[in-house]
């Protein structure tokens, strides 16, 4: 080899090593976006007990895990599409929106459920006993108007009451507000916010903190039973290019679900520690032990919302089943 050829060969070898290094470094890198509430308890347990790192190490890789706190499905979806996170935590509504938008491109799909939780639309307006009683003077707080699962369930309920053409009737009085701020407004009263479609523990805090607060709508009633309102999702690229990291995450989530189910008291302490929430522990335990709450990773009863969103034109592609918008993993095989 002449001098020039040797230099080219050396450079090529160096680039090959660098590419190998970058490829190896990709495995183990994972950034996870979560929002507010007990619905993210499985992630809190995985974080506190370093379960992702544990399962990654068993697979022969060192995991670098970063936790990102966001509010609203829109912000989470933007973070995923911009490459700022690998795992998105949000409602089924945002998942379906992004699945539809990225079909045939980034191919975003669900990874797992975070469990079944009833979501309550709570109002402190004594004149509001059902969604039919809201007027233009009311303001309904939820994480993201027209995108969040709370917003989609409210639209679904509106369609059932007023017909599909009126599905977004209450969007005009809905406002995007983080759960902690919305809960404070409902408890305090006297603000423009007269209702909040939230999640645990904020809805329970509102009911306990304001005698005028009442449940106007229960998501289980709209969806026809226990359902996985909050889920985790990712791009096909991340799943296919980081199989060990992806599996470590899924295995960690499954271990966390089993831990919470078997150890509600310890799980409550972990939530208070990781979230730094100012929450009564007895109320927290009551929520975790609520028979309507189930901590499991298999998605349940998500398809009715998917079918509704397609019917009213919120998504263009109609999924044939849950298998279209969730990855074909063991925890999703029996999903619906």
Per-residue confidence (pLDDT) for residue 73, from 0 to 100: 80
pLDDT at 279 over 70: yes
- Give the global pTM: 0.85
Q: How far apart are CA 41 and CA 38, in angstroms?
A: 5
| Phi (first) and psi of residue 103, to 5 degrees | -60, 125
Per-residue confidence (pLDDT) for residue 13, from 0 to 100: 42
Nearest to 261 by CA among 77, 67, 42: 42
Q: Tell how strand 109-113 and strand 29-34 pair up.
A: unpaired
What are the Cα distances from residue 158, in Å, to 170, 171, 173, 214? 8, 10, 13, 19
The DSSP call for residue 172 is G
> Are 271 and 38 within 8 A, CB to CB?
yes
Residue 147 pLDDT level (bands cut at 50, 70, 90): confident
Q: How far apart are CA 212 and CA 91, in angstroms?
A: 28
Per-residue confidence (pLDDT) for residue 11, from 0 to 100: 44
pLDDT at 45 over 80: yes
The mean predicted confidence, pLDDT, of the chain is 91
Which span out of 68-77, 188-197, 325-334 was modeled with the highest average pLDDT?
188-197
Per-residue confidence (pLDDT) for residue 15, from 0 to 100: 45
Q: At what angle do helices 41-48 and 243-262 cross, to 10 degrees?
A: 110
- Side-chain-side CA neighbours of 160 within 13 Å: the count stands at 16
Per-residue confidence (pLDDT) for residue 22, from 0 to 100: 41
Q: How far apart are CA 89 and CA 144, in angstroms?
A: 14
In terms of Cβ atoms closer than 10 Å to its own Cβ (0-12, 13-18, 19+), residue 285 is: middle
> Are 34 and 40 within 8 A, CB to CB?
yes
What are the Cα distances from residue 130, in Å, to 140, 171, 201? 13, 16, 22
Helix (H, G, I), strand (E, B) or coil at 228: coil
């Amino acid at each position: 080899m002449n001098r020039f050829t040797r230099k080219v060969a050396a450079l090529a070898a160096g680039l090959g090593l660098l590419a190998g290094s970058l490829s190896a470094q990709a495995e183990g890198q994972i950034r996870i976006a979560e929002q507010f509430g007990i619905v993210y308890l499985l992630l809190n347990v995985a974080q506190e007990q370093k379960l992702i790192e544990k399962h990654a190490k068993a697979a022969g890789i060192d995991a670098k895990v970063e936790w990102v706190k966001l509010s609203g499905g829109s912000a989470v979806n933007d973070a995923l599409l911009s490459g700022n996170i690998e795992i998105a935590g949000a409602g089924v509504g945002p998942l379906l929106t992004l699945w539809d938008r990225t079909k045939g491109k980034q191919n975003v799909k669900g990874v797992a459920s975070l469990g079944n939780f009833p979501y309550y639309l709570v109002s402190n307006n004594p004149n509001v006993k059902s969604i039919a009683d809201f007027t233009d003077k009311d303001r309904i707080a939820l994480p993201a108007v027209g995108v969040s699962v709370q917003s989609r369930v409210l639209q679904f309920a509106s369609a059932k009451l007023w017909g599909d053409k009126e599905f977004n009737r209450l969007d005009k009085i809905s406002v995007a507000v983080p759960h902690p701020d919305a809960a404070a407004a409902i408890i305090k009263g006297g603000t423009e916010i007269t209702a909040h479609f939230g999640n645990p523990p904020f809805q329970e805090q509102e009911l306990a903190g304001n005698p005028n607060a009442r449940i106007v709508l229960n998501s289980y009633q709209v969806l026809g039973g226990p359902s996985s309102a909050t889920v985790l999702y990712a791009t096909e690229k991340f799943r296919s290019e980081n199989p060990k990291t992806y599996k470590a995450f899924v295995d960690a989530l499954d271990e966390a679900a089993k831990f919470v189910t078997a150890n509600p008291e310890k799980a409550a302490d972990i939530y208070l520690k990781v979230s730094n929430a100012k929450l009564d522990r007895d109320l927290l335990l009551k929520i975790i032990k609520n028979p309507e709450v189930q901590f499991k990773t298999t998605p349940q009863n998500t398809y009715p919302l998917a079918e509704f969103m397609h019917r009213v034109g919120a998504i263009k592609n109609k999924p044939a089943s849950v298998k279209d918008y969730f990855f074909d993993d063991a925890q999703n095989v029996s999903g619906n």
